[in-house]
């Protein structure tokens, strides 16, 4: 590398390529000279970090010298450091609309709009996906809060999981006339809940093409019994897209209760058949959500009487607005594109560091 790199140029570059090889020079200065030139074997890696104390309060006064960073066990030099309160944010909201969420969906919708209304600024974008037996994009990337509100208003349980008035032939059909939302005769939904598919599609088809800070917020009980995507592949997609995943476990207690006879509560779908969700599924769901958030650098929260969904959204908002950005050029020169583990620590006693655990460098 020759010359020096300005803070702004580094920020723009890191946001654009995160963990990708640099193949061209930085933009030229007013005098016509490049501010810096990188060789094609240099990887710039940008890591967003949030730090809390033992009480959960965000620590905002750390300097670059307070951090240490390693990749695959090798210490790396932190070449760029900043506080990223104003960098544009791309946010994806993924909402579970399966039968197990039927009694909490209204509360999720109301709290989600308040969160989006508070956290999104003019330069930010958001999208909304819901998942049950299918995964569906209800609102593509937008900075329009009215559009996001309308999409949230459209959230509902799948038709086969809501009470319906069945009509005789010729007396009316499905309201969507065979649309993806209302499949119509001859088009059946797959069984189960497609949480992993939703993460994969949001990361690979939407987040991967965006620059800057990116985060997904999951509203779900963590149970997946219908995805084509294995959990490791869903996590890898988020890591490749440089996307944090915040998980909110919001479980309807009645959705896990034993069935109480005909029409009893606690009925759900599992593998396409009717039955109750076992308690083991709920415990496994929590473990899965903790893993997803830990490995991508986001946070895990569980709604309870002491911690409401609005409280959780407030904490996520604070996290997203109080991040440190650490940038380094990887000392590893191989071009295999294999996963590389990242470890970020701080010298601040008792501080808890929240950052992604690794990344996949882009292949050459």
Look up the CATH number of the domain holding residue 347: 2.60.40
Domain of residue 295 covers: 89-163+176-320
134 & 262 share domain: yes
d(CA 152, CA 126): 12
Same domain, 209 and 331: no
Secondary structure letter of residue 43 according to DSSP: B
Mean of pLDDT values over 324-340 = 88
Which residues does 263 contact at the CB level (< 8 Å), separation at least 6?
A: none
Residues 313, 342: one domain?
A: no
pLDDT-derived band of residue 219, with 50, 70 and 90 as boundaries?
very high
Paired tokens of 39: 């060789």
pLDDT at residue 353, rounded to an integer: 97
**According to the model, what pLDDT value does residue 43 have?**
66
- At residue 161, the pLDDT reads 54
Number of domains observed in the structure of the chain:
2
Cα–Cα distance for residue pair 346/246, rounded to 1 Å:
22
pLDDT at 173: 36
- The answer to the question of residue 168 being in a domain is no
Beta strands in the chain (DSSP E): 2-3, 36-37, 44-52, 67-71, 74-76, 80-83, 89-96, 125-131, 135-142, 213-220, 244-249, 268-270, 273-275, 300-302, 324-329, 340-346, 352-354, 358-359
Residue 59 shares a structural domain with residue 197:
no
Q: How many CB atoms lie within 10 A of CB 87?
A: 17
Are 268 and 137 in a shared domain? Answer: yes
Token pair recorded at residue 282: 């709920």
Q: Any idea what DSSP says for residue 123?
A: T
Residues 8 and 129 in one domain: no
Check whether 212 has a pLDDT greater than 60. Answer: yes
User: 70 and 211: one domain?
Assistant: no
Q: What is the pLDDT of residues 246-301, one digit of tens each?
A: 999 987 766 544 433 333 333 333 333 333 444 446 678 899 999 999 999 999 99
Q: Cα(289)–Cα(250) distance, rounded to whole angstroms?
A: 11
CATH code: domain of residue 133: 3.40.50.410
Same domain? For 116 and 229 the reply is yes
Query: Considering the domain boundaries, does residue 12 fall inside one?
Result: yes
Name the nearest CA neighbour of 250 among 313, 190, 179: 313
Is pLDDT at 50 greater than 50 in this prediction?
yes
Question: Is 133 contained in some domain?
Answer: yes
Rounded distance between C-alpha atoms, residue 148 and residue 24, angstroms: 38
Cα→Cα distances 245→26, 92, 110, 203, 296, Å: 30, 9, 21, 10, 6
The answer to the question of residue 129 being in a domain is yes
Query: Do residues 54 and 182 share a domain?
Result: no
Q: Residue 169 falls within a domain, yes or no? A: no
| Whether residue 48 is found in the same domain as residue 192 | no
Share of the chain above pLDDT 70, in %: 70
Other CB atoms closer than 10 Å to residue 284's CB: what's the count? 14
pLDDT band at 98 (very low <50, low <70, confident <90, very high): confident
DSSP structural state of residue 66 = G
pLDDT exceeds cutoff 90 at 84? no
Domain contains 279: yes
Residues 6 or more apart in contact with residue 205 via CB below 8 angstroms: none
Q: Are residues 95 and 80 in the same domain?
A: no
Distances in whole angstroms, Cα of residue 329 to Cα of each of 13, 44, 47: 12, 5, 11
- Whether 149 maps to a domain, the answer reads yes
Say if residue 136 is in the same domain as residue 225: yes
Is residue 155 in some structural domain? yes
CA gap 251, 256 in Å, rounded: 9
d(CA 202, CA 234) in angstroms, rounded, equals: 10
| Minimum mean pLDDT range among 60-64, 262-266, 303-307 | 262-266
pLDDT beyond 90 at 194: yes
- Of 24-38, 135-149, 157-171, 343-357, the one with minimum mean pLDDT is 24-38
HSE-up of residue 171 (Cα within 13 Å, Cβ side): 5
């Amino acid at each position: 590398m020759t010359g020096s790199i300005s803070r702004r140029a580094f920020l723009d570059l890191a946001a654009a390529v995160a963990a990708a090889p640099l193949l061209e020079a930085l933009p030229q200065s007013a005098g016509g000279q490049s501010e810096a030139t990188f060789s094609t074997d240099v990887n710039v890696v940008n890591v967003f970090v949030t730090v809390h104390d033992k009480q959960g309060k965000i620590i905002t006064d750390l300097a670059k010298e307070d951090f240490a960073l390693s990749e695959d066990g090798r210490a790396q030099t932190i070449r760029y450091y900043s506080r990223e309160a104003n960098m544009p944010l791309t946010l994806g909201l993924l909402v579970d609309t399966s039968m197990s969420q039927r009694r909490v969906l209204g509360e999720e919708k109301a709290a989600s709009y308040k969160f989006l209304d508070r956290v999104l600024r003019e330069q930010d974008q958001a999208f909304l996906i819901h998942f049950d037996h299918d995964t569906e994009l209800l609102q593509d990337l937008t900075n329009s809060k009215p559009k996001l509100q309308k999409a949230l208003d459209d959230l509902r349980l799948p038709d086969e999981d809501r009470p319906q008035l069945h009509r005789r032939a010729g007396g009316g059909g499905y309201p969507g006339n065979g649309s993806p939302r209302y499949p119509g005769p001859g088009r059946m939904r797959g069984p189960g809940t497609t949480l992993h598919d939703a993460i994969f599609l949001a990361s690979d088809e939407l987040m991967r093409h965006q620059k800057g800070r990116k985060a997904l917020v999951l509203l779900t009980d963590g149970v997946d019994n219908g995805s084509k995507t294995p959990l490791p592949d869903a996590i890898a997609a988020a890591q490749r897209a440089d996307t944090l995943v915040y998980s909110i476990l919001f479980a309807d207690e009645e959705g896990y209760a034993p069935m109480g006879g005909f029409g009893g509560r606690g009925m759900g779908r599992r593998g396409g058949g009717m039955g109750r969700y076992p308690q083991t599924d709920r415990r496994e769901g929590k473990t899965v959500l903790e893993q997803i958030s830990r490995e991508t650098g986001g946070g895990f929260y569980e709604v309870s009487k002491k911690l409401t969904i609005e409280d959780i959204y407030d904490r996520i908002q604070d996290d997203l607005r109080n991040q440190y950005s650490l940038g380094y050029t990887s000392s590893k020169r191989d071009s295999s594109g294999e996963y590389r583990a990242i470890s970020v620590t701080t010298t601040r006693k008792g501080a808890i560091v929240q950052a992604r655990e690794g990344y996949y460098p882009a292949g050459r």
